Structure 1
Amino acid sequence: MRDYSENKETCGTICLKYLLFIFNFFFWLAGGAVMAVGIWTLAEKSDYISLLQSNTYMATAYILVVAGVVVMITGILGCCATFREQRSLLRVYFILLLCIFLLEVIAGILAYIYYQQFFPMSPQLNTELKQNLKETMTQKYMKPEEVSVTSAVDKLQQEFKCCGSHNASDWSDSEWIKSPDALNRKFPDSCCKTVTDKCGQRDHPSNIYKEGGCITKLENFIQEHLKIIGAVGIGIAFVQIFGMLFTCCLYRNLKSEPY
C-alpha cells in the first residue's frame, strides 16, 4: 500500500512538472509579446503621444516593457525550478509570478485612468484636452527650445494625414505662421498631401489635409492601442493563475530540499 501511494505521488509530480514546463514555455513567449508591445509604443508612438501632456500613457508602456523582461526571466527560472525540484526556487518563482501579476494590474489601472482622462464622460473635460493640444501645436511649433514638439507635430500630421488639432484653420492662430519665419506659409509643410519645401504656402484642398483634425484621429489610435494593452494584460494574467496553481501543487508534492 505504501509503494502504491509513493508511485501515485511520483506520477502526479511528473505530470505537474511537465504542465509547469509547458506553461513556462508559453509564458516566456507571452513575455516577449508584452515587451514588444511596450517597446513598439515607446519607439514608434512616444513622440507625438508626448503632445498630450500626460505621463500616464508612457508609464503604462514602461510597465509593459519591465513586465515583459521579468516574465522572460521568470520563465527561465521556472524551468530550472521545475526540473531541479527545489522548493526554494519554486518559492522565488511564485513570488515573481505574483509581482508580475501586480505589475499587470497596475498597468491595467493606469490604462483605465488614462482612458477616463482622455475620453471622459464630461464633454467639457474632453474639450479642454483638445484645446490643450491646439495650444501646444500653435504656440510651441517651430520654437528653438521646442524641437521635440515640432518633430512630434510634423510626424503626427503626416502619419495621420491631418492638419491642426480640430482642423486646418487652427494654424491661423499659430505664432510661427504669423511670423516672418514662416515665409508666407499658411500651414506647416507637414500638412501637405505631398510634402515639398514651402508647400504650406498654397491653401487648397488638393494640397492640404483639410478634412478632420489630428485630435480625432489620435483619439481613435489611443482607443485601439489601449484595447491591445488591456487584452495582452488580461490574457497573461489569466494564464498566470494556472501557473501559480501548478506551482503550489508541485511545491506541496516535493519534499523539502536542503539549502
Structure 2
Amino acid sequence: MAVLKVKFTKTRRGKLAQILWILNWISVVTGLIIFSLGLFLKIEIKKRSELMVSGDLHAAPNMLIAVGTIACVINFFGGKICYDCSDASKFVRWKLFLLPYIVCTFFFTFCVFAGAIMCYTMRHELESALYRGLKDALKFYKDTDIPGRCFLKSTIDLLQIEFRCCGNNGFRDWFEIQWISARYLDMGSKEVVDRFKSNVDGKYLLDGVPFSCCNPSSPRPCIQYQITNNSAHYNYDYQTEELNIWIRGCRVALLEYFDDLMKSIGLTVLIIWLFELSVLTGVRYLQTAMENVLILGDPESESDGWLLENSCMETAKHNIQIIKNLGKVNQINTVSGKSDPNVDIPVADYGLDNVPPN
C-alpha cells in the first residue's frame, strides 16, 4: 500500500511543478546562505587561530561550505527539471534521471542536517583548543622581539579590550607567568633581582595585569599592579570592593561568543534543511504523479502521487533483499574468477557450493 498517497489532476500537477520551480530557485539562494555562513565561521576561527591549538575545528565550516556549493548546483538543475515536468511530453526525457536525482538530493539533505548538528557538537573541541591555545599565548605575551611571537602581545591586548576579559580563566592567570620582557627590567635593581630569585622557576612574577585588563568604565584609576596588596593603595580592599579590571576569563568570553555564533548558524541551517526536505517531498510527489500519467497514457487524466509505493517496512525489506542479492552475485563472480553474462541476480540463490559451471 502506498504511503501518503495524494490524487492529482492535470491542473494540480501543473501548479505543483510551477511552485517547485520557484522553490528550487529559492533553494539556490539558501545554498548561498549556507555557503556564506560556513565561510564566515571559517574566517572567525581563522582570525582566532593563534589563540587556539590546531584541531578539527574546520570540519563544521568546511561541511557548510561544501553543502552550500552543492545546494546551488542541485537546486539549479532541480528548477529546470520541475519546470519541464509540468508537461508530460517533456517529462519523458527526465523520467530515468529523476529517481537518481531524488536519491542524491535525499543524501544531500542529510548532509545539510549533519552540518547543522556539527555546529552544535563542536563546543568541546573548541573549549579544549581555546584553553591550551590561550595558555600558550599568555606565556609568550612578553616575547615581542622573537619572530613568530612578536604579534601575540597586541593580539592578547586587543582580545582583552574587545571581549572585556582578562587572562585565560581569570585575571589571576597573569600572576603565574612572567608577562614583562626582561629587556624592560632593570637588572641592577635589588627588587627586580629578588623577584627573580623568589620562585624556583627564576621568573619575574608580580600580582599585576596588563593595561588591557583595565575596565574603562570604572570611576577609579586602574589598579593593575599590586592588586592583592591593600596597603599599596589608598582606601582599597581587593577582597570586598569591586575591582576595576575585567574579572571574566577570555576563554569563557570567546567560548560564549563562538557558542552563540554556532547556535545561530546551526538554527539557520536546520530551518534551511526543513525547507529543502519539503522541496524534496514535492519533487517526489511530482515524479510519481507524472509516472502514473505515462502509465495511464492520458495527459488529461487524474493520477496518484506518493512518497513510497509500498509501506516503509516492505520498502526496507525489498531494498535489503536487493543488497543481499547483489552481495551474493559479487561473491559468485569472485569465486568463479569472471562474470557470466548469462547469470542474472536470481543465481545468488544457488549458494557458493552450487555455482553452476560456466
* Counterpart Cα distance in 2 of 1:116 and 1:182: 40
* Counterpart Cα distance in 2 of 1:89 and 1:117: 42
**Kindly, what percent of the aligned residue pairs are identical?**
19
* Counterpart Cα distance in 2 of 1:156 and 1:135: 14
Render the CA deviation track for 1:48-93: whole Å, top value 9, x for unaligned.
2563436344211121122112212222111111123323453454
CA RMSD, Structure 1 to Structure 2 (Å): 3.8
Instruction: Decide which moves more: 129-138 or 97-106.
Output: 129-138
Instruction: Decide which moves more: 210-219 or 172-181.
Output: 172-181
The residue type equivalent to 2:260 in the other structure is E
User: Which entry has the higher C-alpha Rg, 1 or 2?
Assistant: 2
Instruction: Decide which moves more: 30-39 or 83-92.
Output: 83-92
User: Which of these residues, 91, 99, 103, is aligned with residue 111 of structure 2?
Assistant: 103
Q: Is the 8 A contact 2:56 2:125 kept in 1?
A: no
**Unpaired segments ≥5 residues, structure 2:** 1-7, 86-93, 187-203, 217-221, 228-243, 295-358
Q: Relative to structure 1, is the Cα distance of residues 146 and 241 closer, same or farther in structure 2, using a 3 angstrom cutoff? A: same
* Mapping 1:108-127, distance limit 5 Å: 108-117=116-125
* Counterpart Cα distance in 2 of 1:62 and 1:181: 44
* Counterpart Cα distance in 1 of 2:184 and 2:108: 51
* Mapping 1:232-243, distance limit 5 Å: 232-243=268-279
Instruction: Decide which moves more: 16-25 or 44-53.
Output: 44-53
Give the number of equivalent residue pairs: 236
The residue type equivalent to 1:227 in the other structure is K
**Which residue number in structure 2 is paired with residue 55 of structure 1?**
55
Q: Is the 8 A contact 1:134 1:170 kept in 2?
A: no
- How far has the Cα of 1:137 moved from its partner? 2.3
**Which residue number in structure 1 is paired with residue 162 of structure 2?**
159
Q: Is the 8 A contact 1:166 1:215 kept in 2?
A: yes
Q: Is the 8 A contact 2:31 2:68 kept in 1?
A: yes
**Which residue number in structure 1 is paired with residue 173 of structure 2?**
170
- How far has the Cα of 1:201 moved from its partner? 11
Render the CA deviation track for 1:102-130: whole Å, top value 9, x for unaligned.
222332343343235557xxxxxxxx777
> Which secondary structure state, in structure 1, belongs to the residue aligned with residue 34 of structure 2?
helix
Q: Relative to structure 1, is the Cα distance of residues 134 and 42 closer, same or farther in structure 2, using a 3 angstrom cutoff? A: closer
Q: Is the 8 A contact 1:39 1:61 kept in 2?
A: yes
* Mapping 1:13-162, distance limit 5 Å: 13-48=13-48, 51-53=51-53, 55-85=55-85, 86-91=94-99, 93-117=101-125, 132-141=132-141, 142=143, 144-146=147-149, 153-162=156-165
**Which residue number in structure 1 is paired with residue 197 of structure 2?**
none
- How far has the Cα of 1:204 moved from its partner? 9.5
Q: Is the 8 A contact 1:160 1:217 kept in 2?
A: yes
TM-score by length of 2: 0.54
- How far has the Cα of 1:133 moved from its partner? 4.4
